[in-house]
Structures are given as structure tokens and as C-alpha cells.
Amino acid sequence: MTRESLVCFYTIARRETTRIFRIWVQTLVPPVITMTLYFIVFGSFIGSQLSGIKGFEYMAFIAPGLIMMSIITNSYTNTVSSFFSTKFQKNIEEMLVSPTPNWVIVMGFVSGGVVRGLSVGLLVSLVSLFFIRLPMYSFIYTAVFAFLTSFVFALAGMINGIFAKKFDDISIIPTFVITPLTYLGGVFYSISLLPDFWQMVSKANPIIYMIDGFRFGFLGISDMRVASGLGMLLFFAVVLFSINLYLLKKGIGIRS
């Protein structure tokens, strides 16, 4: 990486981060409120009536899943909305006319998604402390899963942003793909509780590996092989990054 590329990256990353904290009422507050409600309703009200899962009380089991859910949603939403609004206001042209390399543009936007995903994740983790003292089995696993997941979903959000032509297009994938896969991704239950057939089906859902690996970092328990989760995240990171580069090189949605 040359010094100039580093300056370009820093400029985009700084701009993205400033945006997140400038509109914090839209970017940071809503997910924290939503997750607080989840903690209250599912954790305290309903959870207290349930027996624990794998030796942990229900609240402790769902807390990592809820934190991961907010990381996934916010990383994705941040890049898709920021990239689309940059396209919509045409200020993407500021970058396109400059010598900024495409991979730096991708990394710059994605860094915004990662910052937002991890910031919200951290805030939700702090909120969870009001409800339960979460154990920390391995900080490294927790941090690696959190970082890679936010990176992968920020990359996915960028692809959505590149293709989006109108505001409706930025909410289709989160509503119809990411939310169902997250809810069915083992946030609220262990897939070992499902019948065999549904366990098989669940294993095709990549989000399950991410939540499972993240939960392993806190509780030291997992339904899947943690290495599979890590491998899958690295695979998605490489593939999605390459797709982004290809789309920018082709000028899809940004050059006529």
C-alpha cells in the first residue's frame, strides 16, 4: 500500500465514520433501543420462564446472538445506505475523477460498515450487562468473529449499494434475506433442539456459523465446528471483496 493509497483510504474512512457519529440518532440509537427491548421481552419476561440451554440460562444464551444480530444488520445497512446516498447525490464522482484505486474505495466504505457494526455491537454488549453478567470464554474468538462478520456484511451491503437504483432497493435484501436468515440463525435457540431434517436445513444458513462462533467466544459452547465458521467467513470475505472490485472496475451503476 503506497502512502497515497493510505491517505485516500483514511479520507474515505474518516468521512464514513464522521457520518455515523454525525447522525448518531439514526445510526446508533435505534438498534440499541430495539435490542434493549429484546433483552427485556425475551430475556427477562419470557427467558425467566424457560429452562436454560446447554447449562447456561436463556438470557446468557441469546445475548451473544442479539449482539451479533445488531452487528450484522448495522454493518450491512451502513454500507448500502452510505454508498447509495453517495451515488444518489452524485458525490461518488468526487472519488471517481480522482486517482483513488477501486480497492481503496471498497475498503473505505467497508470500514464505515465495520465501525458502525462494531460500535453498535459494543453498545448492545454494554446494555446486556444490565441484564446479565456474560462470561468471556475467549476474547480472541469473540473479537475475530465480530470483526469478520461485520466485514463480510459491510462488503455485501456495498454490492447492494452498487446495484441499487432507487431507495426501495436498499431495503429489499435486509428485509427478505438477512432478517429471516438471522432469526433462523440460532439467535434464540440452539439448532441441536431442532428435528434432524431442520438441523440439516439450518446448516445451509451461513449466519448460523457466525452466531455460533461468536457465542463460542463468550460461552465456550457451540453447535458447529468453530473452524468451519472462520473458514466460511474468510471465504465470503474474499469472494465478496472480489465481486465489489469487479463491479467497480466495470463501472456498474456508477459510470455510463
Binder of another protein out of 26, 44, 98, 192 (CB under 8 A): 98
Q: 147-177 b/e with 16+ CB inside 10 Å = b?
A: bbbbbbbbbbbbbbbbebeeeeebeebbeee
CA distances from 76 to 48, 68, 151, 157, 232 (A): 32, 12, 9, 4, 18
Please tell me whether residue 100 binds another protein under the rule CB under 8 A.
Answer: yes
H/E stretch holding 69 reads: helix 58-88
97 binds another protein (CB under 8 A): yes
Terminal CA-CA length for the chain: 29
Cell for 197?
431434517
**Residue of the chain from 86, 111, 119, 222 that contacts another protein (CB under 8 A):** 86
Across the chain, how many H-helices and E-strands are there? 12, 0
User: Hey, what amino acid is at 115?
Assistant: V
Using CB under 8 A, pick the residue from 29, 30, 94, 167 that binds another protein: 94
- Of 9-17, 144-152, 210-218, 240-248, the window that binds another protein (rule: CB under 8 A) is 9-17
Smallest gap from Cβ 162 to another protein, in A, equals 16
Q: What is the nearest approach in angstroms of another protein to the Cβ of residue 11?
A: 3
**Contact status: 256 vs another protein (CB under 8 A):** yes
Which residue among 101, 206, 220, 253 contacts another protein (CB under 8 A)? 101
Does 26 contact another protein by CB under 8 A? no
Of positions 89, 140, 175, 196, contacts another protein by CB under 8 A: 89
Give the binding-site size for another protein (rule: CB under 8 A): 30
The correct pick among 63, 80, 95, 173 for binding another protein (CB under 8 A) is: 95
Q: Which residue pairs, CB below 8 angstroms and at least 24 apart, start in 185-189?
A: 185/65, 185/210, 185/211, 186/65, 186/211, 186/212, 186/223, 187/62, 187/65, 187/66, 187/68, 187/69, 187/211, 188/42, 188/62, 188/65, 189/53
Our CB check for another protein shows the closer of 9 and 236 to be 9
- Nearer to another protein by C-beta: 7 or 37? 7
Can residue 5 be called a binding residue for another protein (CB under 8 A)?
A: yes
- Which chain residues interact with another protein by CB under 8 A? 2-5, 7-8, 10-12, 14-15, 18, 22, 85-86, 89-91, 93-101, 251, 255-256
